[in-house]
Structure 1
Amino acid sequence: MRLSGAWWAKGLVKHNEAGIKKALPLINRKYELLRHLSEPELQQQIERLREEVVQHMQPRHVTYTTVAIVKEAVRRKLGVILHDEQLLGGYMMIKGNVTEMLTGEGKTLTSLIPLFWFGLQGKGVHMITVNPYLAERDYMQAREVFHFLGMTVGLNRSELRMEEKQSVYECEITYGTWSEFGFDYLRDHLVYDPKHQVQRPLAYAIIDEIDSVLIDEAKTPMIIAGKSKAAPDLYYICAKFVRGLREHRDYERDVETNQVMFTESAIRKIETVFMIDNLFDLDQMTVYHYLLQSLRSQVLMEVDRDYLITDGKVHIIDAFTGRVLEGREFGDGLHQAIEVKEGLRLSEETRTNASITVQKYFGLYPHLIGMSGTVQTETEELRHTYGLEVMPISTHRPIVRKDAPDLVFSTKAAKFQRLVKEIIALHQRGAPILVGTTSVQQSEQLAARLSQVHLPCQVLNAKTEREEAEIISRAGRKSAITIATNMAGRGADIRLEAGVAELGGLHVFGLERHESCRIDLQLRGRSGRQGDPGASQFFISLEDELFLRFASDEAEDWRESWKWGEEGVSSQQLLRFADMAQNRAEQQMYGIRTLLYKLDCVVHRQREWFYSEREDILHSEKMEDILSRSVSHWIDICVERLCPAKRLPEEWKVRQLGQEFGLTVSIHAVELMTPSEIRQQVGQQWRQGWSLFLETQLLEKWRSSWRERCLRLIDQCWMEHMEVLGSVKQGIHLRAIEKRDLADIYEEEAYQLHLKFIRKYHRAITREVIQEMKDQLAFPLSGSA
């Protein structure tokens, strides 16, 4: 369903769109025929369409009929007539494209077209949203339409029981959030009984606000974690140690990537204080990890910006929405490092049981499409990472919103002062105002200034998604002043109250440019929906975080030569400078996402091995074959290690080899044997004992017991492996000094660690098998090698 990136070029976009627009008269002609049918007659048409799809009888008219049927179903059940741009958007998604439809163009109803089409394929289609509120809202709106179309539809919620989730996933169409689908995938690969898995094989996914999910959320992997026993003393020791470190002397801070790294002098100091030879040895990863997390908590993490402290606990603040993430913790011990820093009671450390990045999870869907109002700027990344192409859809009505050029100020104080003046003037006219901020702190600072001049405002700050949507929807009322983080309430339309259009519509102000111009476009797009009047403008200062992080030297030069006073200026030179800083930020974030994707590609290959091995255990009817394979694997490893071909036979450790497998092995005639013959002899002796052992077992009960034991052993080894991999990833940026590709370095180390993980797993299985045989068969067996 995905299209080749080579096919896409700007010159072909208009040509392709024009070609597809030729389908619109045919679709609407079919629609005119359908709208005059009785309900039984229309149901017959739907059933005929289903049969044609199931039998793969799919000439071109079948897709036209699909679009027309959805249009008629929406008219009959919702009283809404889909306009041509919605039909075009839905048709383009059927063809495998991502569609860009601006805010207010009706993406939610447009999605019903590809949902119906892919639902007809019978493999299940997942309709993915950014938050539970939108999932439930869209499900409730679409449910009646799909029931009319004869489709089963369900809502995937986190509170559902296992049986309920299985039922939801059996539906032809399933609504839910991106994270819930991802976590269900991870949980399915942790079960101890295949009957407890809930998902069918992944087939079709349609993502609403696809840029938010695939781009904005791509920096943070989905993680299922369990509690583990931390080493509190080491946290306190490391926290005390890093408090004595000084920037530039002991550590360097990369403002752009928001990373810290120890200097050479600090590394020598650490090795002396902690009495270790090499801090970067894999055996020292625990010490290094705790030290780095302590340093990150001290230098990078700031209270009331990155986290809140309430009731003696640390709560994460979502960087995009400003919302407190209930029930979430910073991973890999960072949460505990912050608790030590803040003098709080130390909680149990979380341990990663399973994880996957957003990119890799959605890459598992054979057919992936989506829609957004602001995705055109990310065309290259979507094509490169996901193999997706973007089709911009024209607006139903012309955009009449007035987008004024940014006003640039030397200081934040001057920016706030001018913005408050603008808000006062507009408020006196009765015009509604929406101010987008990049942080909770900014929202509170502006609200405080408006309070000083007695202007009431609604601050959208750490609300639930439902409250956000309700607040945002009221932002179009007369005299309303709404302050919100740029991402808050996304997906909810702002409709103008009667009389507001005559006042110029909704006025949107951006208080600071975001790290991506796409987020700025989303804020502008809050105004001017469906041909409504409106206005937008950004007020930025040279003290904004964007400039401090990505262009601090240049910003300082501009401040020193400032000549435009306190009222702000839209100088072309300054605007080009702002664009340059934002472009740097975008390139930096893209680089981070690309590196994380490359690193997870390495992990994913290992994850696939782990999941495949685990599935074999989970579904195996003969556990003795699984165990025998592990023991044979460990025999191969031990013979290679204890009886290597490059050493003389008299140097081989044959007796130690026998002891490893519970065998009493003589060394008679070893000098005449090859390692292969040694391997054969040890394997033969073990298999003799194995056969005798199996004859004494009640196999069904024994197999069930060992299935669970095997799963627990492989899970334990995998979790330990993931911890070490995580520590390597945490410090990978320190390896940049080697002037090699970081992904290549990581792949090399991850490969060696994976071999170690496999050896550890097979050794654990072998030792438990041998011990059980000893207990029940009076092992060891005697024999000669």
Structure 2
Amino acid sequence: MDFLSNLGSGSQLRRLRKVADQVNLIEEDFQGMSDAELREQTDTFKERLEDGEDLDRLMPEAFATVREAAVRVLNKRHFDVQIMGGAALHWGNIAEMKTGEGKTLVGTLPSYLNALSGDGVHIVTTNDYLAKYQSEQMGRIHHFLGLEVGVILASMSPAERRIAYQADITYGTNNEFGFDYLRDNMALNSEDLVQRGHHFAIVDEVDSILIDEARTPLIISGPAQDTHEWYPVFARMVRSMKRDQHYEVDEKKRTVAISGAGIEVVEDRLGIDNLYESANTPLISYLNNAIKAKELFKRDKDYVVLGDEILIVDEHTGRTLAGRRYNEGLHQALEAKEGVKIKDEYQTLATVTLQNYFRMYDKLAGMTGTAKTEESEFQKIYGLGVIPIPTNMPMIRIDQRDRIYRTEEAKYKAIIEDVVLRHEDGQPVLIGTASVAKSELLSGMLKKEGIPHEVLNAKQHEREAAVVAQAGRKGAVTVSTNMAGRGTDIMLGGNPEFLADLQLRKQGLDPVETPEEYEAQWPDTLKALEEQVEAEHDEVVEAGGLYVIGSERHESRRIDNQLRGRSGRQGDPGESRFYLSLSDDLMRLFRPEVLERALIMLKVPDDVPIDSKSVSNAIESAQKQVESQNFEMRKNVLKYDDVMNRQRHVIYRDRRRVLDGADLSEQLRDRAAEVVAAVVRQHTVGIPEDWDLEMLFNELKTLYPVGLDQEEIEEEIPTQEKLVEMFSDDVCRAYDEREETLGSETMRELERQVLLSVVDRNWREHLYEMDYLREGIGLRAMAQRDPLVEYQREGGDMFIAMREASFEQIIGMLFNLQVNQPEPVSVGVVTDAEGKPEDVLAKAAAVSEGEAKPRRAEPLAKGLGGKREENLTYSAPDESGEATTSRDDGAKKPARKTTTSSSGGGNRAARRKKARRKR
């Protein structure tokens, strides 16, 4: 119901309140049912749907069913505000619910209702831990009601994934859902497909997934030809180059630019005359990446070095992202910088942005505690309204004013003094930091003060949920890298549900493997732990609740609000405060001149906090500036990906038709006639006396066994159109004869494998060419042309050309490929006696036509012969959206070092000067 998003906030809430009232009105009816009767409601609802009722009409009863099941299974009853949140999700909106309001439980309502249709519901989380935990705990409700629940984890096989997708409700991460979509569109057989459509998705922490990660696409890559020798060369070179002399750095835009002096250094070191000659331009990317690695990527903040690996650190959560790599050679540049083994570069095989992936769903909804600040973006890009849901209990957390210090040292000293005082009173403290290095710095300072504490950062993320769940216990001090453990509730005195689950698992019980024994033990275990936690809860409340300290402001106000939101859940007391210094990244990057004036005018000692309205305004202004800039970046990514999305839709549609077993013989016969007609027209331009019929026949013979007689045609000299008609009929005859020779079944299998082989090979090459086009398209603005319009035009032309070339290759292979019967047809890399790849089309044509060679004698891409690609790399955004770039064009080959140049004679300096005048 899109109109719901356009109504006023009051109208929205009244509509949702009405649903909650309806559920309350019938609640007693469901309370009086036996377990079996409650479970039978599922079958009743399905029958009513089949009889023509819609989901909206079923909603109150379905929600009442789930509410009662939750009471019986989890000893939890959905609050009225949770019922309202569930209705908002069902109607395709984002429910903004504060931390601690039970968003995970809310998701059980619309997921159950929409699963009744049998089309499947996807519940999307930010990491594997949450997907598994939620599927097990919330799945207990759905299992009780007779529904199947699946979960997609990174370690699962295709067969396990297929089973999980067949379930009524499937949990998983955004990346796993997206990668399965891409893998399905690389499948060679219908049996390899795992997903079954995109009906309804509920995205947990929707702002993190659809906003923070939206700048970066999902990319599946395979090994590409590359040379590693240049990475260490440029890593050594830039060490001696100086910032602002040899190159410039824009930290705000995270870009670098080489200066004239820098170009001279590079050209002298490499012994080349002109870095910008076409033969040398691939070297520029090595240079730029080496500078970026030196200036923009800091060890223990943006990445950590573990053994011989560079691991990316998520900016927001502090987690290391195992298996993730920066694209465009940047990761190799970091490896060269740190002196670890340089691993292979990869070429893009399939890619999609999260924006375009999630827009495929028939219905989309989301939950988060912080969405209102991005309401406009959610509406414009995803068509999602944001509905703030009231809290179940009034919020009484106290958000203190920021304390701003002139130096970072004074800031950290003040934080430690504050923590010591709070710890003495037994108040739990959560400290959010911006990087691994900062968390370890604070940890060291706490150790000196003798304060016991837990540290959560990229190096300890596996235990983060257990630590965060207990961060609300009396006297607990937790240092967390920008809210690692998001999605785990911090409850004052401890989290009894988490402790109960942990205790039962220690006893060997599991909600999936041993559901009956687990459910039997759950009530007593939970009750005992609730009693244990309750006494401590009261003590923590008396001490003031959870105290959250932010050690610096994030560039997004929303991330700051997420940190604050860990405190003050469900009416509990709490407090938050940010400590800042004028050397923090945000202040340093965007500090207005007013801050400089304030420093001079205030004349306060370093250990005295600055209380200045102008400083606070500058911080807010800086955050708004970055948010606006990031929004523009995401819109820009989407505009360009929309071009690729239309092309991707055509390719994936064609592939799916092949996999689904569609009979394409008539279409291929028509395409064969079109290909032949194009070749005939190409060679019959002008008057007949100028036609080179011998060349025409030779070229057509590389495509199919020509049945026409060249001498007869030369004597008859028909018109061009008559000649087109003759050859079109001839290739159709040959096609029918080919099928008669092979048999219809073998011909269909040959068509299927050839189509998939050629389409996949040319599509990945097209992706590379589109990457290359995208990389340089910005320069068109210098010629007063719109880069996006140029990208659309040239990309469209390239796509049409690729499609035409594909059909020509397909026709040639269908006629020339040797098929050994009854062995299954295999299309792919064929090797000679020395193990070198040969082009099967060229080989077949040469055998049948002597010296004839096909027009495109290209070796087939690796891995297209009846099996999946191997050694793939999966590149995806981290939870901040900063971990990867938008493309992977590592297949570029660098130029060789050379001392010759086409720029003219004379000594090197003279030639270089002359070349620069030509640029």
With normalisation by structure 1, the TM-score equals 0.90
2:699, 2:280 → 1: CA distance?
28
Offset of residue 49 of structure 1: 2.3
1:284, 1:692 → 2: CA distance?
51
Contact 2:547 2:575 in 1 (8 A): yes
Q: Is 1:619 equivalent to 2:691 in the alignment? A: no
Question: 1:661: which partner in 2?
Answer: 700
2:104, 2:480 → 1: CA distance?
23
Unaligned stretches of 5+ in structure 2? Answer: 494-535, 818-843, 853-919
Instruction: Write the letter of the residue equivalent to 1:596.
Output: V
Q: How many residues align?
A: 773
Question: 1:712: which partner in 2?
Answer: 757
Instruction: Specify the SS of the correspondent of 1:476.
Output: coil
Distance 1:453 1:704, change over 3 A: same
1:633, 1:278 → 2: CA distance?
45
| Highest RCO, 1 vs 2 (Cα 8 Å, sep ≥ 6) | 2
Contact 2:773 2:791 in 1 (8 A): yes
Question: 2:650: which partner in 1?
Answer: 609
Distance 1:136 1:765, change over 3 A: same
Distance 1:290 1:726, change over 3 A: farther
Question: 2:821: which partner in 1?
Answer: none
Contact 2:120 2:169 in 1 (8 A): yes
Contact 1:103 1:373 in 2 (8 A): yes
Instruction: Specify the SS of the correspondent of 2:27.
Output: helix
Question: Quick check: 702-711 or 88-97, which moved more?
Answer: 702-711
Offset of residue 230 of structure 1: 1.8
Distance 1:59 1:227, change over 3 A: closer
1:464, 1:175 → 2: CA distance?
25
Instruction: Specify the SS of the correspondent of 1:513.
Output: coil
Question: 1:493: which partner in 2?
Answer: 489
Contact 2:751 2:814 in 1 (8 A): no
Distance 1:274 1:622, change over 3 A: farther
Instruction: Specify the SS of the correspondent of 1:352.
Output: strand
Distance 1:443 1:236, change over 3 A: closer
Contact 1:280 1:288 in 2 (8 A): no
Q: What per-residue deviation string (whole Å, max 9, x for no partner) do you get for residues 366-414 of structure 1?
A: 1100111111111111101100001111001111110011112222122
Contact 1:693 1:776 in 2 (8 A): no
Q: What per-residue deviation string (whole Å, max 9, x for no partner) do you get for residues 305-329 of structure 1?
A: 2222222222222222222211222
Q: What per-residue deviation string (whole Å, max 9, x for no partner) do you get for residues 752-784 of structure 1?
A: 332343244334334434544746765899xxx
Question: 1:576: which partner in 2?
Answer: 617
Instruction: Write the letter of the residue equivalent to 2:543.
Output: L
1:699, 1:719 → 2: CA distance?
30
Offset of residue 547 of structure 1: 2.2
Question: 2:77: which partner in 1?
Answer: 81
Question: 2:320: which partner in 1?
Answer: 324
Instruction: Write the letter of the residue equivalent to 2:145.
Output: L
Question: 1:588: which partner in 2?
Answer: 629
Q: What per-residue deviation string (whole Å, max 9, x for no partner) do you get for residues 526-576 of structure 1?
A: 100001111001111221111222336555454454534332123211111
Q: What per-residue deviation string (whole Å, max 9, x for no partner) do you get for residues 445-464 of structure 1?
A: 21122223332321101256
Contact 1:127 1:205 in 2 (8 A): yes
Question: 1:8: which partner in 2?
Answer: 6
Instruction: Write the letter of the residue equivalent to 1:509.
Output: I
Out of 721, 725, 728, the position equivalent to 1:680 is 725
Q: How does 1:52-201 map to 2 (within 5 A)?
A: 52-58=48-54, 61-201=57-197
Question: 1:600: which partner in 2?
Answer: 641
Contact 2:433 2:550 in 1 (8 A): yes
Contact 2:38 2:145 in 1 (8 A): no
Instruction: Write the letter of the residue equivalent to 2:575.
Output: A
Contact 1:249 1:263 in 2 (8 A): yes
Instruction: Specify the SS of the correspondent of 1:167.
Output: helix
Q: Is 1:544 equivalent to 2:577 in the alignment? A: no
Out of 224, 231, 234, the position equivalent to 2:227 is 231
Question: 2:22: which partner in 1?
Answer: 26
1:706, 1:285 → 2: CA distance?
41
Distance 1:576 1:192, change over 3 A: same
Distance 1:44 1:479, change over 3 A: closer
Unaligned stretches of 5+ in structure 1? Answer: none
Offset of residue 658 of structure 1: 3.3
Instruction: Write the letter of the residue equivalent to 1:542.
Output: L
Contact 1:238 1:294 in 2 (8 A): yes
Question: 2:544: which partner in 1?
Answer: 504
Contact 1:133 1:466 in 2 (8 A): no
Q: What per-residue deviation string (whole Å, max 9, x for no partner) do you get for residues 8-60 of structure 1?
A: 25xx1112212331333221011122112233443444432222223231386
Question: 2:419: which partner in 1?
Answer: 423
Question: Quick check: 526-535 or 26-35, which moved more?
Answer: 26-35
Distance 1:682 1:410, change over 3 A: farther
1:263, 1:679 → 2: CA distance?
58
Instruction: Specify the SS of the correspondent of 1:568.
Output: coil
Q: What per-residue deviation string (whole Å, max 9, x for no partner) do you get for residues 632-664 of structure 1?
A: 4544554565556xx666666654443332158
Q: How does 1:381-780 map to 2 (within 5 A)?
A: 381-462=377-458, 467-497=463-493, 498=536, 499-551=539-591, 555-566=595-606, 567-620=608-661, 622=663, 624-625=665-666, 627-628=668-669, 631-635=672-676, 638=679, 655-662=694-701, 668=714, 673-674=719-720, 676-732=721-777, 737-738=782-783, 740-769=785-814, 771-772=816-817, 774=845
2:267, 2:233 → 1: CA distance?
14
Using the aligned pairs only, state the percent identity.
34
Instruction: Specify the SS of the correspondent of 1:527.
Output: coil
Instruction: Write the letter of the residue equivalent to 2:698.
Output: Q
Contact 2:568 2:575 in 1 (8 A): yes
Q: What per-residue deviation string (whole Å, max 9, x for no partner) do you get for residues 135-164 of structure 1?
A: 111111122211222212112223333232
2:46, 2:23 → 1: CA distance?
18
Contact 1:661 1:770 in 2 (8 A): no
Offset of residue 220 of structure 1: 2.1
Contact 2:238 2:291 in 1 (8 A): yes
1:76, 1:144 → 2: CA distance?
10
